[in-house]
Structure 1
Amino acid sequence: MAYVIIRGNNGRRHEVDFENAEIKVEVHINEENVELVIEALDEDRPREKKRFTLVNLPRSAFDKAMAEMARSKGIAIKAVD
């Protein structure tokens, strides 16, 4: 079961629960950012009611997190530009 929880600057919690729906994940990367788009493939929902989340991260933070995870798992990662 996929879900996303964020807490905004105002302290309010926002949650997207994909339940058991099939999901599509897209990853877009450039030199500055990594963007994750996660969308439930709900054929029966109108477009304005689709469940999705968009996560935009600084590339440097994403790269650092992946490198730390790889080191902890003993995985060798080759940088690709």
Structure 2
Amino acid sequence: MAHVIIRGNNGCRHEVDFEDDQITVEVFVNDHNVELVIEALDEDRPWQKKRFALVNLPRSEFDRAMAETARKGKSAIKVVE
């Protein structure tokens, strides 16, 4: 079950729950940013009401986190079933 939860500066929690629906994940990378676009394949919803999450990260922080995970090996990867 894919889901995204964030908490903004104002303390409000925002959640996108994709439930068991199929999703698409697109990754865009440039020298400065990594952007993840996660979208539910909601055929029955109008385009302005589709469930999606957009995550934009500094490339340096993403690279650092991936390198740290790789150094830790398989034990660092958490699998949720």
TM-score (norm: length of structure 2): 0.90
3-state DSSP class of the match of 2:56? strand
Partner of 2:31: 31
TM-score (norm: length of structure 1): 0.90
Partner of 2:9: 9
Structure 1: how far apart are the matches of 2:17 and 2:45?
A: 15
Q: RMSD of aligned C-alpha atoms?
A: 0.8
Matched to 1:67, the amino acid is A
Partner of 2:49: 49
Percent identity between matched residues is 74
Q: Which runs of 4+ in 1 moved over 4 A?
A: none
Residue segments in structure 2 that go unaligned for 5+ positions in a row: 75-81
Residue segments in structure 1 that go unaligned for 5+ positions in a row: 75-81
3-state DSSP class of the match of 2:20? coil
